[in-house]
Each structure stands twice: as C-alpha cells, then as structure tokens.
C-alpha cells in the first residue's frame, strides 16, 4: 500500500510539473516545437510519406475520420491530417493551446471535436477512427498509463483502423528524463515492449528523415491489434 501511495504521488507530480511547464509555453509553432519551428515542414512531409505507405497495405484503413492526440495548437491537424481526412478530432490538455487550435481552425473547413484533457484521461468513442495519430506526447505518460491509453485506443478503431505513434527515441538504450518539461524519452526496445503489452503489433515502421543530426532519432510506428488477422 505504501509503495502504491508513493507511486501515485510521483505520478501526480510528473503530470502536474508537465502541465505547469506547458502553461508557460507560447501557443505558437515555435512553442510547440521547442524553438525548432524550422523542422515543421520536414516533419509534416515525413508524416505524409509514412501515411502514404500505410495506404499501400493490403487491408488499409478508411479515410473518413482521424484523431490528433496531443494536438497542441493544431499544427499536425491543419498541416497534415486535414489534407487526408474530412473529420479530425483533437485531444489536448492545455486549455490555451486548444483554444488557439479552435481559433486557427475556425476559418478553415475543419470538422471534428475538441477534447480538452490529457491522454491519460481520454476515452475514445467506440469504432470511429480510421487513424489515431499520436505524436510527440507519449513521453508525458508513465509506462503504465501509456499502455492503458493504447488499450483504450483499440476500442476507438474501425475494423481496419490503425494507431500511429511518432516519437523521439534514445540511442543510449536507457530512458532519459527531461526535468524541465517533465517528460521521458524512451529507447526503441521499451517502446516496442509497451506496444506489445497493450495488445498491439507493428505493421509498418519508418524513421523520420532530414532532421538535424543533433536531435533525437524520430520514428513512426503503425499499430494494429494483435488479434487482427493479417
């Protein structure tokens, strides 16, 4: 019991520290990317190329509705997902960010819902998403909450739907903690292990190209339920 209380206390601080940090970050592309807005175009083009490969799979997803998990100000939604899906829902815990996303998307043809909460609290509607795109946010979840979140995502997928995660990975083989924004960067081996714990398997994987050499390696993983027949 004492160990559980300690873990709960640590988890609470992990999330509250992150929320406090992001509350100080401007609701701009530079803010979302840690001062590296110059990589945004390369990032979005890399995501589009990966999505294109997904639609070359035999049992590819539909193209009706997507989720942007950890959406920030809607950079990924407006710059990429809306070009592929007529309906895109956004999940973002920071109120200022999601309000900025609503403002930016209001003059566009955006259709979709806005969910102002952290992914650790998000429960998707059942069987509605063709693609659930989760980018640069899973480092803000504990291992336990990451697995439980991915398990909940399974219920939100349509019959051929896929979850895509795009994340930084360490090259050291160790988990690296960023105390400034209260996040972790995991090695690929741990990410893959957590994916399997959630009952998912990798059907496509690709490294993001053309990022500055001094940044973490970034990889994209397309995931389907292990129970799904190939």
Token representation of residue 152: 């909940």
Token representation of residue 48: 């589009």
Numbered residues of the known binding site? 70, 75, 119-120, 135
Cα separation of 185 and 110, whole Å?
Answer: 32
Numbered residues of the known binding site for S-adenosyl-L-methionine? 70, 75, 119-120, 135
């Amino acid at each position: 019991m004492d160990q559980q209380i300690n873990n709960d206390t640590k988890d609470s601080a992990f999330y509250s520290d992150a929320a406090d940090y992001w509350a100080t970050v401007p609701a701009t592309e530079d803010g979302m990317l840690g001062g590296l807005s110059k990589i945004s175009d390369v990032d979005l083009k890399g995501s589009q190329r990966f999505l294109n490969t997904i639609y070359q799979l035999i049992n590819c997803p539909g193209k009706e509705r997507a989720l942007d998990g950890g959406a920030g100000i809607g950079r990924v939604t407006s710059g990429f997902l809306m070009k592929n899906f007529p309906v895109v829902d956004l999940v973002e815990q920071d109120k200022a960010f999601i309000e900025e996303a609503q403002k930016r998307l209001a003059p566009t043809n955006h259709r979709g819902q806005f969910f102002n909460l952290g992914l650790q609290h998000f429960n998707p509607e059942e069987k509605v998403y063709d693609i659930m795109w989760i980018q640069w946010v899973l480092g803000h979840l504990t291992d336990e909450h990451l697995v439980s979140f991915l398990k909940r995502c399974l219920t939100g997928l349509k019959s051929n739907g896929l979850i895509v995660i795009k994340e930084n990975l360490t090259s050291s083989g160790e988990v690296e903690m960023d105390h400034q924004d209260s996040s972790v960067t995991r090695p690929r081996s741990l990410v893959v292990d957590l994916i399997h714990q959630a009952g998912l398997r990798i059907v496509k994987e690709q490294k993001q190209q053309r990022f500055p050499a001094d940044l973490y390696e970034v990889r994209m993983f397309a995931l389907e339920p292990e129970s799904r027949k190939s």
